[in-house]
Structure 1
Amino acid sequence: MATAVAVANGSSGDTKVAFAEIYNKLKQEMLEDPAFEFTDESLQWIDRMVDYNVLGGKCNRGLSVIDSYKILKGVDVLSKEETFLACTLGWCIEWVGLIAVNDGIILRNHISRILQRHFKGKPYYVDLIDLFNEVEFKTASGQLLDLITTHEGEKDLSKYNLTVHRRIVQYKTSYYSFYLPVACALLLSGENLDNFGDVKNILVEMGTYFQVQDDYLDCYGDPEFIGKIGTDIEDYKCSWLVVQALERADENQKSILFENYGKSDPKSVAKVKDLYKELNLEAVFHEYERESYNKLIADIEAQPNKAVQTVLKSFLHKIYKRDK
């Protein structure tokens, strides 16, 4: 419980406070679930495991459900019931952080039990189940592709290209981090997701833009600003920067990449970064960012639903200001 309270105390908004309080309720329901007779030891394990896996991040995905729902309803304050349902769906999204196979299975099954307990009587219940199943499958498939592509011991940069990178990003990041929160808010608002295919495509593209930006910041961002020291080069990641370098490099430059990419030696990392500078990848990124942003804005403004436009623009502006 103390961890959840810390989340609340770290925010100044009522939304985050309510979000943290509902986490406590959902976790307590899990610990008191009559479907299995837990021992005291197993209860303690689950108590710690859920906090460890679910808490600790900024909860941006979960909170996006609430923010999007408010915009779609055109209100600043939700009712108690609306707040509870939006927060509950938000926590279902946050619940999928995995640390081990069995813990992951328990957490994933609890999502289904949360949905059943709190949404079974809703007209959109089946749509929620389908949505979470769809996004889970896409995310797991993207993770599989990422792991296969960057398989340790089989390092082969020839497998890296823009098509592979885009596919990994779309499936691993876009659906889970961008489409799922908005889709949950749309269902809460009584909308049919079949009518929002264009919105889904925009959010997937937005997720791609976000990950490309993330790859760029990993190399060029200030660690104090982005909150981490980038290690994509050392970790042999299928980064947007390395696939762009492979597209533009001559044979000598490619040999530098093949020899040094994926090594933790600072000299090797420096050689890769020097090559990125030689290929002017900073300028390549800024041109990509400009084109992507302008296209996304045009696609968003073409949406007939003004509330949906506002939701999409709020997502885009949060991303765009990260590297400013």
Structure 2
Amino acid sequence: MMRSGTKRTSDNHATTSPKKVKVGTAAEGYDEKKHFEATYETLAKELLEDMKTYRLPANGLAWVEKMLNYTIPGGKMNRGLTVVSSLKSLKKRDLTEEELLHAEVLGWCVELLQAFFLISDDIMDSSVTRRGAPCWYRAEGVGMIAINDAFIVEATIYRLIKKYFRGHAFYADLLDLMHEVTYQTELGQLMDLITAPEDNVDLTRFSIEKYKYIVEFKTAYYSFYLPVALAMMLHGIPADSDSYKQALRVLLPLGEYFQAQDDYLDCFGSPEVIGKIGTDIEDNKCSWLVNQALPLCNAEQRKKLDENYGQRKPENVAVVKQVYAELDLEGLYRNYEEESHAKVMKLIEEIDEKVLPRDMFVTFVKRVYKRNK
């Protein structure tokens, strides 16, 4: 079994004499992202060592190592890095080595959760590429083994939490938070799938209300609330504190903006930049774009959407995009982006600085505002 992290956070990380690391500054020798990536290398090795205690054969270990390295690193890592930056904002000082390690471990737990969702989602959506490479299930020799791989990735989250936090007072709350957010995300995914099944296109099922539910539960909780809530827990804020509700007031609208942004990039972004080929139109997705188009289009445009949305042929996709162009959805999105940014920044200004630092949220906003991938 993996050991608790109360005395030593790992075999190589003693915590009796913590040193301070200038997290998020231009300190000599410190690069936030590179340091975070280096911690992944350590954690991946620890997870493989842990699997050896279950007598996993060499070819199984080799498979897991390849799978983890294919599906976990390489993304923007905004979710994981937000745990680190949020804890620094809460502490209002540089982090000690132990604090930094704990924040990075939980940051990677968020990234592992993200990978678990993406491996599964790519299969459900029959997606082709992810981060500029074939989706894991489309990699040579993988196929539906990817379903079990997704389960393994999810399980590694709790191996790490057990190792590093079992002896901490908030251990049960930490587990509860991870399970709660996972459950919320799966409910959002369910509504996404049954609202827009690929084999039964019916645009009358779509509505902005359903879209907002899907976005809140499928995206906002795990991508925006979870990283900040984890930092708050590390900082010692009790799980029943109203501070978490204050954080939600800002982070849920930010998550809604992020998903609308993602939907926009899926259609109008460059595959070379965003690292994947957008398939929301082909997949019959209940996206921000189609929900904006439906109440705006005339009878002829609506007929074109009904006949071409959710179809996989390039010519069908082209017809949908032409309707989007006629309705100037790009311009509509740019206005929405500015309005959403102003709304979120106003909510941040309303936060009581004595309860939560505003810069914690501003940092998050800067990471997603006007992103192009």
TM-score normalised by the chain length of structure 1:
0.88
Residues 198 and 283 of structure 2 are in contact (CA less than 8 Å); yes or no, is this contact kept in structure 1? no
Aligned mates of 2:210, 2:178 — CA distance in 1: 24
SS state of the match for residue 360, structure 2?
A: helix
Q: 1:52 aligns with which of 58, 64, 70?
A: 70
Residues 1-324 of structure 1 aligned to structure 2 (within 5 Å):
14-33=31-50, 36-75=54-93, 77-96=94-113, 97-98=115-116, 99=119, 100-193=146-239, 194-196=241-243, 197-305=245-353, 308-322=357-371
Aligned mates of 2:275, 2:30 — CA distance in 1: 22
CA displacement at 1:228 relative to structure 2: 4.4
Q: Which residue of 2 aligns with 1:8?
A: none
CA displacement at 1:40 relative to structure 2: 1.7
CA displacement at 1:229 relative to structure 2: 4.5
CA 225–114 in structure 1, closer or farther in 2 if over 3 Å, else same: closer
CA displacement at 1:135 relative to structure 2: 0.7
- Percent identical: 45
Aligned mates of 1:82, 1:282 — CA distance in 2: 43
Aligned mates of 2:43, 2:336 — CA distance in 1: 42
SS state of the match for residue 371, structure 2?
A: helix
CA displacement at 1:284 relative to structure 2: 2.6
CA displacement at 1:205 relative to structure 2: 1.2
Aligned mates of 1:52, 1:118 — CA distance in 2: 24
SS state of the match for residue 332, structure 2?
A: helix
CA displacement at 1:268 relative to structure 2: 2.5
Runs of at least 5 residues in structure 2 that lack an aligned partner in the other structure: 1-28, 120-145
Measured against aligned partners, the alpha-carbon deviations of 1:244-287 in whole angstroms (never above 9, x if no partner) come to: 11122233321110111123333322322222232232333233
CA displacement at 1:201 relative to structure 2: 2.7
What letter matches 1:159 in structure 2? R
Q: More displaced, 178-187 or 54-63?
A: 54-63
Aligned mates of 2:30, 2:278 — CA distance in 1: 31
Aligned mates of 2:337, 2:303 — CA distance in 1: 28
CA 40–270 in structure 1, closer or farther in 2 if over 3 Å, else same: closer
Aligned length: 312
CA displacement at 1:173 relative to structure 2: 1.0
Measured against aligned partners, the alpha-carbon deviations of 1:206-256 in whole angstroms (never above 9, x if no partner) come to: 011011122123333355554444332233222111111112223332111
Aligned mates of 1:223, 1:114 — CA distance in 2: 34
Measured against aligned partners, the alpha-carbon deviations of 1:79-121 in whole angstroms (never above 9, x if no partner) come to: 1111110110011111121333322222222211211111112
CA 305–233 in structure 1, closer or farther in 2 if over 3 Å, else same: same
Q: Which has the higher contact order (CA 8 A, sep 6+)?
A: 2
Runs of at least 5 residues in structure 1 that lack an aligned partner in the other structure: 1-11
CA 269–38 in structure 1, closer or farther in 2 if over 3 Å, else same: closer
Measured against aligned partners, the alpha-carbon deviations of 1:16-69 in whole angstroms (never above 9, x if no partner) come to: 232223222222222222652222222222222222222221222111111111
Aligned mates of 2:56, 2:347 — CA distance in 1: 51
SS state of the match for residue 95, structure 1?
A: helix
CA displacement at 1:165 relative to structure 2: 1.2
Residues 266 and 279 of structure 2 are in contact (CA less than 8 Å); yes or no, is this contact kept in structure 1? yes
Aligned mates of 2:250, 2:61 — CA distance in 1: 42
CA 217–39 in structure 1, closer or farther in 2 if over 3 Å, else same: closer
Q: More displaced, 283-292 or 158-167?
A: 283-292
Aligned mates of 1:274, 1:110 — CA distance in 2: 45
What letter matches 2:242 in structure 1? N
Q: RMSD value over aligned CA atoms?
A: 2.2
Measured against aligned partners, the alpha-carbon deviations of 1:156-214 in whole angstroms (never above 9, x if no partner) come to: 21111111111111111111111111111111111124322021131111011011122
Residues 264 and 289 of structure 2 are in contact (CA less than 8 Å); yes or no, is this contact kept in structure 1? yes
TM-score normalised by the chain length of structure 2:
0.77
